[in-house]
């Protein structure tokens, strides 16, 4: 079995594959103070919860945007599985030409998601990843990573709006029935949901025009994307496990004799 782990700013997401079949996905909150032993115990509990024997896990890969947790999770995984995880970073063979000013600056999760998209969908392709930060990336028809746009995440923006104003409340992220709000709650939800949807549509159009290679496939992933893309005008494919699948593809590229 193959274990893929994506360490994000808000959540740590893990997925377990048997061959090409995804057996389960689990998410836990990102807590930077946890020790390797604590994470090891949690991993064993998660596998037990899903009735999967962790001893059959013999290949692992990690992407991380939280450097202080990278080695901690690596040690925990090695403790419970007996195999050292591949940590996505400089030196990892990606099979993707990264055409940005400094390829070393490319986030591991963003790279894994784009590798997964390039393996699954027609090119050129735009990847919309909505999480703690909103990341919109583009892959050209040759499978090269051309660049991206990064914006504050939806939840960060919404929380900031409530914290920095005296009369605007905390609200849930719900799609309102109308874009023209007639009360504070509906107006805030409209500005958040439809505002971010319009931003995504607009950036996709700009990317497509600037790339000038025809119509792009658009794939959405990330914790908040499933519901938000319903408010976008552009047709999008939702794949919540895109980063995990990309990690699997990357592991197989770097360990061709150990495909899981």
- Burial (CB < 10 A; 0-12, 13-18, 19+), residue 243, is buried
Respond yes or no: is residue 109 known to be catalytic: yes
Rounded to an integer, what distance in angstroms lies between the CA atom of residue 212 and that of residue 192?
Answer: 30
Cβ atoms of 162 and 171 closer than 8 Å:
yes
Q: How far apart are CA 142 and CA 153, in angstroms?
A: 30
Q: Facing residues of 17 across strands?
A: 2, 22
Strands 11-18 and 145-152: unpaired
d(CA 244, CA 254): 16
Q: Cα(143)–Cα(98) distance, rounded to whole angstroms?
A: 9
CA 252 and chain centroid, separation: 19
Q: List the catalytic residue out of 6, 109, 129, 140.
A: 109
- Catalytically annotated residues: 109
């Amino acid at each position: 079995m193959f274990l893929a782990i994506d360490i994000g700013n808000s959540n740590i997401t893990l997925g377990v594959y048997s061959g090409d079949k995804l057996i389960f996905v689990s998410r836990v909150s990102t807590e930077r103070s946890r020790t390797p032993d604590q994470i090891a115990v949690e991993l064993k509990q998660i596998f037990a919860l899903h009735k999967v024997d962790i001893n059959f896990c013999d290949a692992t890969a990690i992407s991380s945007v939280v450097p202080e947790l990278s080695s901690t999770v690596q040690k925990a995984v090695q403790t419970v599985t007996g195999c050292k995880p591949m940590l996505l970073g400089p030196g990892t063979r990606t099979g993707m030409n990264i055409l940005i000013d400094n390829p070393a600056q490319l986030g591991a999760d963003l790279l894994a998601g784009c590798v997964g998209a390039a393996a699954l969908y027609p090119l050129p392709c735009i990847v919309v990843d909505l999480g703690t930060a909103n990341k919109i990336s583009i892959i050209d028809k040759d499978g090269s990573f051309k660049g991206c746009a990064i914006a504050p995440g939806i939840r960060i923006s919404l929380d900031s709006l409530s914290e920095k104003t005296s009369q605007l409340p905390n609200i849930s992220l719900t799609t309102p029935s109308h874009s023209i709000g007639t009360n504070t709650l509906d107006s805030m939800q409209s500005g958040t949901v439809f505002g971010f949807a319009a931003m995504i549509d607009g950036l996709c159009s700009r990317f497509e025009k600037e790339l000038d290679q025809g119509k792009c496939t658009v794939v959405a992933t990330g914790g908040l994307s499933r519901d938000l893309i319903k408010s976008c005008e552009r047709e999008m494919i939702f794949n919540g496990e895109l980063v995990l699948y990309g990690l699997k593809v990357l592991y197989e590229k770097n360990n061709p004799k150990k495909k899981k």
